[in-house]
Amino acid sequence: MKQFTFTYPAKVYFGEGIAAEALKQELPKVGKTVMLAYGGGSVKKSGVYEELKNLLVQAGKEVVDFSGIMPNPTYAKVQEGAALAKERQVDFILAVGGGSVIDCCKVVSAQAVTEEDIWDMEYRSGKFPSAGIPMGAVVTASGTGAEMNAGAVITYEEKLWKGPVVGTGAAFAVLDPAYTATVPPMQVLSGAFDTLSHAMETYLGNSDADNVSDDVALAIMRNTVVNMRRLLADIHDMQARGNLMWDSAMAENGILKVGRLTDFQAHQIEHQLGAYTDCNHGQGLAVIHPAYYRYILKDAEDKFTRFAREVFGRDTAEDGLNALTDFIQECGLPTKLSELKSKTEITPELLRNVADTCNIIKSNPRELDRDEIYGILCECL
Ligand code: NZQ
Ligand code: ZN
């Protein structure tokens, strides 16, 4: 295994009705002014907003609302949140939502305590934040695992760029499967596919033989598929939602990635597709993965064969990828870019731009060049 240091800073509160206990434990540790951050309104409709706001008020906190965080959060929204946090001298941020709300808040937290522009700081000066307003995350839509790490994915519209910005990790995360009850079925499945993707992308990177990370990644893939199938039979199956919520956190809390290299090339392509379109993250991945994996199959045939056997009970690498494609169809997830319902038309020219600007991972089974990425994207049209 490669050298690593590993810490696990987020405390997790899991289970139905756990928020009251979590906030009872955590709120006494933080200052008086709390930013309650959320998205486009689902938490108001579901009653989660009211429940959490009452808990904050009962704990004597002054609540500052930061609302309207959009899916695929923008850099402009980060700046809006940071300005509000500075103006109202926010002591603590409670992010309530899916990956988009949590990611936006991670960067708001870091941006609010520095005068430097955080994108310039990270991408021009190569410096990363060491301070931020403390935050907690209440997950209402699972899949990204954003509650368990400090990395955020932000869309910088003016730069036509979507990619990682390091922020502040949540000190604690509340995982209540019941909070996901109102998530639309397609988002539940695309979120779960994102979890599957995280485990596949980690597994496909270079690793030592017989390392535990591969074993755990395969277990998470298997468990994610099993529980997605349970949701296909009954979308309200709360036990399956809870299992997927923990799969999601496990896949992105860093434990799978220690001592090895990861791939994440499909993610790089999807993120940049997200810079040019408004495509949903999990659905974009569902389209890209089969085409990408078919292209690199011969470069990691042993790993794909093991994936075929252990995740889908098939004998060969090719059959495993057929099973993955069939599973995506079985879930009703998109299999072509045209099915992504993007407001921007996805043309070959747009795909050329995506291929020319996405990050290229050097540690995947084979380093791709931009023409190869363009070819893979064209296969998805
Ligand atoms: O905005 P609201 O009204 O809350 O609606 C949201 C949104 O429209 C809705 N939703 C959330 N909870 C709900 C609910 N609707 C009904 N009931 C509830 N309880 O779901 C929609 C999608 O939410 P979003 O947060 O965008 O989805 P997701 O969790 O998939 O997050 C996607 C973002 O996370 C990034 C993606 O790139 C994308 O920007 N990622 C973050 C990662 C990380 N930080 O580790 C890793 C991932 O690979 C990913 O890139
Ligand atoms: Zn993802």
The pLDDT of residue 325 is: 98
The model's pLDDT over 110-124, given as tens digits with 9 standing for 90+, comes to 999 999 999 999 999
Mark which of 145, 178, 211 sits at the end of a domain. 178
Confidence tier at 8 by pLDDT (50, 70, 90): confident
Mark which of 153, 178, 203 sits at the end of a domain. 178
3: in domain = no
- The answer, yes or no, to whether residue 210 has pLDDT greater than 90, is yes
Q: Which two tokens stand for residue 200?
A: 């596949």
Position 350, amino acid: L
6: in domain = no
- 182 C-beta closer than 6 A to ligand 1: yes
Q: Average pLDDT in the 173-194 region? A: 98
4: in domain = no
The pLDDT of residue 91 is: 99
Structural domain of 352 = 185-379
| Same-domain check for residues 244 and 169 | no
Burial 122-133 (b: 16+ CB within 10 A, else e): bbeeeeebeebb
What percentage of the chain reaches a pLDDT higher than 90?
A: 98
| Same-domain check for residues 93 and 25 | yes
CB atoms within 10 A of CB 356: 12
- 97 C-beta closer than 6 A to ligand 1: yes
Confidence tier at 9 by pLDDT (50, 70, 90): confident
231: in domain = yes
- 146 C-beta closer than 6 A to ligand 1: yes
Enumerate residues 6+ apart whose C-beta is below 8 A from 23: 52, 55, 56, 59
| Same-domain check for residues 361 and 296 | yes
Q: How does DSSP classify residue 101?
A: H
CATH number for position 19: 3.40.50.1970
Distance CA 220, CA 270 (A): 22
The model's pLDDT over 298-326, given as tens digits with 9 standing for 90+, comes to 999 999 999 999 999 999 999 999 999 99
Ligand 1 atom 26 nearest Cα: 71
The pLDDT of residue 244 is: 98
Average pLDDT value over all residues in the chain? 97
| Same-domain check for residues 275 and 326 | yes
| Same-domain check for residues 276 and 242 | yes
Three-state DSSP class for 85? helix
283: in domain = yes
Q: Ligand 1 centre from 98 Cα, in Å?
A: 4
Indicate the number of domains in the chain: 2
Q: How does DSSP classify residue 46?
A: H
The model's pLDDT over 27-85, given as tens digits with 9 standing for 90+, comes to 999 999 999 999 999 999 999 999 999 999 999 999 999 999 999 999 999 999 999 99
- The answer, yes or no, to whether residue 363 has pLDDT greater than 90, is no
| Same-domain check for residues 264 and 286 | yes
The pLDDT of residue 364 is: 81
Enumerate residues 6+ apart whose C-beta is below 8 A from 124: none
Ligand 1 atom 16 nearest Cα: 183
**HSE (CB half, 13 Å, CA atoms) of 201?**
23
- 183 C-beta closer than 6 A to ligand 1: yes
User: Best mutation site among 109, 153, 265 for ligand 1, i.e. most ligand atoms within 8 A of its Cβ?
Assistant: 153
What percentage of the chain reaches a pLDDT higher than 70?
A: 100
| Same-domain check for residues 371 and 299 | yes
Q: What is the pTM of this model?
A: 0.98
Confidence tier at 168 by pLDDT (50, 70, 90): very high
Distance CA 280, CA 197 (A): 14
The pLDDT of residue 157 is: 97
Got the DSSP string for 169-208? --SEEEE-GGGGTTS-HHHHHHHHHHHHHHHHHHHHS---
